[in-house]
Structure 1
């Protein structure tokens, strides 16, 4: 005799609260486009046409030094640099900026430039600023003042605006910062929750707290829906764990450990991940530039293969190796990904399960990769539709796992 409904209900009643907590904590991936990079530009170097200038400098470097790419990939990278060279940009008031006495004026000027970029149609897909950390009272006061001036100068919040919160060491810092943003929204008359931020993971305390617990889950809880990203800080973190200068790089196992913690902590929460930077800049003669591009290209590919689809760029010429690596990564797998997704879609409507039997989770991953390739310009929507036989709306449904 089968169990009756009341018996089952009494046994499972307490799981309803577990279900509620899990749904609230792990709503799934964040929809929409994720930039492939974040370009950090010191506030003192910001000007009326910075995004366009980065593209022009990258194209000039590519023309002068060349890069060993296929004709198709070369044309795609050049087109990207001319059309949308910068996808995401942070106006930096922290490490890359220092502490000049002109910070008030720089904050006003840089915010005015951001307004102008949007008015002229050259603004990146997303943008914002990195403030100083909350490490000491002096830094906290300076960070809050700069942010206050910057936001007041904007007057209206531009689309895709995000704030970078660096060197976090305690959940209480995140909690206070989230409360500060609410106060600023109220003062400026902006909707509650409109100001969001990403946490920089660049201290040992942002990986393991003083009680031996993983720290990031508490950070995400403290910031709530305002936390939209976790950005790995290569050099501060590797220095903090005691590595020598020669070992402070993205490919070190210590960096892999930090990134794995970031992945596990953020999985299913909708909080996105970004890798750090390479300090080997493509400057100097052709041999030096090509060597730096090869290093950066390899690191970008490594990040992509580890599930980090965004990273930092610190110099205009790094855009060349960034897009070469990203476009090559997506185009190399495009045909096979499209074929597998098309086969999955066909099997979903038939009883035939021949060949590789992909799971819904794999269909989600295949769709995500193809959609990212369109977002960044590695492929067109028409190419993806032709290759899969599926409209992008179907891919988005698979990505949300709304289709079976």
Structure 2
């Protein structure tokens, strides 16, 4: 600008620069919104119970609940027993009496939040001659579809089928196709909550192939577009680290064309592939922590949820064996929750006891502080709680606090009334804080 030129009008300059920036960033903005839509608005289950297909029938959820309740009543007859078993494994403070009541009610009301019918590793077909295995698996697929089509189902459910690796590809596609077409044959729609799981992924091309399978099945069955969405199971080192050193799992998510709803860590396949001796394969091994940290970054903001794996130490045997397995499982569940993994696998009905004890203790020990911080942030006046004055929370932290409270409500660890009394807000207000509309001030 020359010394004689009049200075630009600030308002006009600002508008001109804004228009230029909008034009420069339009493509990047669209890509960001498409690839990172934010956290899903739907409930996430706290666990997935894997059962071999041959053990799944119309009454299996009720049977699982009965078995879990039997173990609960036998080994945790009251709050003192719960405290004795879990005090060292699950950090306090938490009211053992309240947790005991809540967990027992959960096992009666909704013991299984997510059921996965396993046609992969858990489906061993022991004693079935090699030449009869295809027919045997077909028979199990048809039976499961027939029985579950009219049975009470948990909020989330689905199948794990053979991977798209060459050795299992034909059988996996056959099972998935037979399962979906069988379900859709009753009326051109699928029961709600269906979640197919694609295991042992080793390449982006496998995810693209799965997307194509979903599209073809939707067309063939007359299903609405994007009815079929799926989970990707991370149980191979190749799915974490590509040959060029990049994080392949991020590419897997974005290759799914918006159909990937979850990343599930596979404890034992992944650990074994990394050369970890069987005795040390565990959810808290360093190789597991590395893989899950990469998964967490890859999934952040994409709307894809995360699930930790399982422990194969089952709560069976005598009293001390059961309690030792519960302590281990409870500690691992709490560890996962504190690291932002709000879901994990269970392999046995009695593991539901330690799953819910650890999960409820996690939410209840932090709920008063979380609600007090929300009250301070929003300026509400709780009727039964306090307002936290020792925090200066930013909008992102406020969203996380609201998300914490909603998750506690979803799984039954807290009630709407409790949260309202502690934070002075309703669930709809928490949802608005958790996922504000674009352009909304927090």
1:357 aligns with 2:398: no
- Equivalent position of 1:201 in the other structure: 234
Rounded to whole Å, the distance in 2 between the matches of 1:275 and 1:113 is 29
Instruction: Report if the CA contact (8 A) 1:62-1:320 is conserved.
Output: yes
Deviation readout 1:47-83 (Å, 9 max, x if unpaired): 2211111110011011122252422211111100000
- Equivalent position of 1:110 in the other structure: 144
Rounded to whole Å, the distance in 2 between the matches of 1:58 and 1:385 is 31
Instruction: Report if the CA contact (8 A) 1:126-1:159 is conserved.
Output: yes
- Equivalent position of 1:132 in the other structure: 162
User: What's the offset of the Cα at 1:197?
Assistant: 0.3
Q: 2:200 aligns with which of 167, 190, 196?
A: 167
Rounded to whole Å, the distance in 2 between the matches of 1:152 and 1:10 is 52
User: What's the offset of the Cα at 1:383?
Assistant: 1.3
- Equivalent position of 1:47 in the other structure: 57
| TM-align CA RMSD | 1.7
Q: Which aligned segments of 4 or more residues in structure 1 are displaced greater than 6 angstroms?
A: none
Rounded to whole Å, the distance in 2 between the matches of 1:78 and 1:242 is 40
User: What's the offset of the Cα at 1:23?
Assistant: 1.0
User: What's the offset of the Cα at 1:398?
Assistant: 0.7
Deviation readout 1:344-363 (Å, 9 max, x if unpaired): 11089xxx996421111111
SS at match of 1:329: helix
387-396 vs 288-297, greater mean Cα deviation: 387-396
- Equivalent position of 2:218 in the other structure: 185
Instruction: Report if the CA contact (8 A) 1:204-1:241 is conserved.
Output: yes
Instruction: Report if the CA contact (8 A) 1:347-1:353 is conserved.
Output: no
Rounded to whole Å, the distance in 1 between the matches of 2:397 and 2:255 is 32
Change (3 A) 1:141 1:79: same
Deviation readout 1:178-211 (Å, 9 max, x if unpaired): 1011101111110010001000011000001112
Deviation readout 1:206-254 (Å, 9 max, x if unpaired): 0011121110121112111110000000001111111111210001111
Change (3 A) 1:7 1:56: closer
TM-score by length of 1: 0.95
- Equivalent position of 1:335 in the other structure: 368
Instruction: Report if the CA contact (8 A) 2:369-2:388 is conserved.
Output: no
Aligned residues: 396
- Equivalent position of 2:414 in the other structure: 379
Instruction: Report if the CA contact (8 A) 1:360-1:401 is conserved.
Output: no
Gaps of 5+ in 2: 1-6, 84-95, 382-386
Change (3 A) 1:116 1:328: same
User: What's the offset of the Cα at 1:154?
Assistant: 1.2
Gaps of 5+ in 1: none
Matches within 5 A, 1:4-23: 5-7=15-17, 9-10=19-20, 13-23=23-33
Indicate the structure (1 or 2) with the bigger Cα radius of gyration: 2
Rounded to whole Å, the distance in 2 between the matches of 1:236 and 1:153 is 30
Rounded to whole Å, the distance in 2 between the matches of 1:247 and 1:336 is 36
Matches within 5 A, 1:236-251: 236-251=269-284
